[in-house]
Amino acid sequence: MFSSPLRLRWLLPFFLASVPIFLGGWPSNAHALDAVTLQLKWNHAFQFAGYYAAKEKGYYSDAGLDVSIQEAQPGDDPVKNVLNGKAHYGVGNSSLLLARNSGQPVVVLAAIFQHSPVVLIARPQGPAQGIHDLAGKRLMIEPQSDELFAYLQQEGIPLSGITRVEHSFEPQDLIDGKVDAISAYVTNEPFFLDRAGFTYHTYTPRSVGIDFYGDNLFTTEQEIKNHPARVKSFREATLRGWQYAMEHPEEIADLIVANYSQQHARDFYLFEAKRMVPLIRTDLIEMGYMNPGRWHHIAVTYAGLGLLPKTFLSAVLSITTNQSVI
């Protein structure tokens, strides 16, 4: 079913991180100051620390880039914003794989989180509460949360049986009972809920073997085709920023408060930073690293739940065992 050109299309999301390495010949810096926009997937937070560090420490400007960092607003979809030209780069989940399958020309540049921080947090309903008690409930879920949908499906909870509510980015809505559960990051919402003295239950996809990449940096085929040197420079400066941010969390927390958001206290950003360490694992893995076998596992999970065509799997296998076409 899959022709060779289609196999090549599928190759891009898995391997673009290695394209700058294998293609070679690109200049290390852009020749002119290019204005580009990065679309975040949430409010300003330490979750995006590497991008702030790359901008404020001059890594982007050294690469000839003038980068505008755009936080998400309720209802924003980073993939749509990048595809519509509102941004050149974006931060998304592993559901970028599903977007690719649907014909959207997104390309993953780097995986920032080696383990996704995405979870479901629910209001308490009883001492024997479990994930299945979410059936029929109101769930506030952000865009590009397909790994959570995969989790619910794997647990036998039909998506037609839940009421999806647009995410407000406000954990107070859970406390106030406006919804029964919210999509959340283990690095984020627990800070507010714990300090409010609110009892809650956390459900993670990793409990059923759904262990995806998180906060993937992505762009479009068009950006790569038209501005290959800019893509290379942006990726390199970004990963340099991430390395710095994780080595200097207190400095970056101060920077966020000073230049990006006073919405939260400094303690919140340091809480995030500490919780991110075991998810990013810079002690074991190079920042931004992506493994083709891991992407194959993600595809297998999606296919097993009917979210990807099973005919796709043989193509993935052939792709992940042959990098020479790059």
Task: Flag whether pLDDT at 315 surpasses 70.
Answer: no
Among 82-86, 188-192, 313-317, the minimum mean pLDDT is found in: 313-317
Q: Are 121 and 238 in contact (CB under 8 A)?
A: no
Higher pLDDT, 267 or 326: 267
Q: Closest Cα to residue 79, out of 93, 67, 65?
A: 93
Length of the chain equals: 326
* CATH topology (fold) of 4-115+213-320: D-Maltodextrin-Binding Protein; domain 2 (3.40.190)
Identify the CATH number of the domain defined by range 118-208.
Answer: 3.40.190.10
Q: Closest Cα to residue 242, out of 83, 91, 42, 95?
A: 91
Residues 215-244, mean pLDDT to the nearest whole number: 95
Q: Cα(203)–Cα(269) distance, rounded to whole angstroms?
A: 23
Q: Cα(126)–Cα(36) distance, rounded to whole angstroms?
A: 49
Residues 232-287: tens digit of each pLDDT? 999 999 999 999 999 999 999 999 999 999 889 999 999 999 999 999 988 888 99
Contacts of 65 (CB under 8 A, 6+ apart): 30, 33, 34, 36, 230, 233, 234, 237
Q: Are 94 and 212 in contact (CB under 8 A)?
A: yes
Amino acid letter, 294? R
Q: Cα(108)–Cα(100) distance, rounded to whole angstroms?
A: 10
CATH 3.40.190.10 in the chain, residue ranges = 4-115+213-320, 118-208
What is the helix (H) or strand (E) element at residue 233, kind and residue range? helix 228-247
Sheet containing strand 34-39, edge to edge, reads 65-70, 34-39, 89-92, 214-220, 106-113
Phi and psi for 313 in degrees, rounded to 5? -65, -40
Cα 135 to its chain centre, rounded Å, is 26
pLDDT for 307: 82
Residues 49-79: tens digit of each pLDDT? 999 999 999 999 999 999 999 998 877 889 9
Residues 36-47, mean pLDDT to the nearest whole number: 94
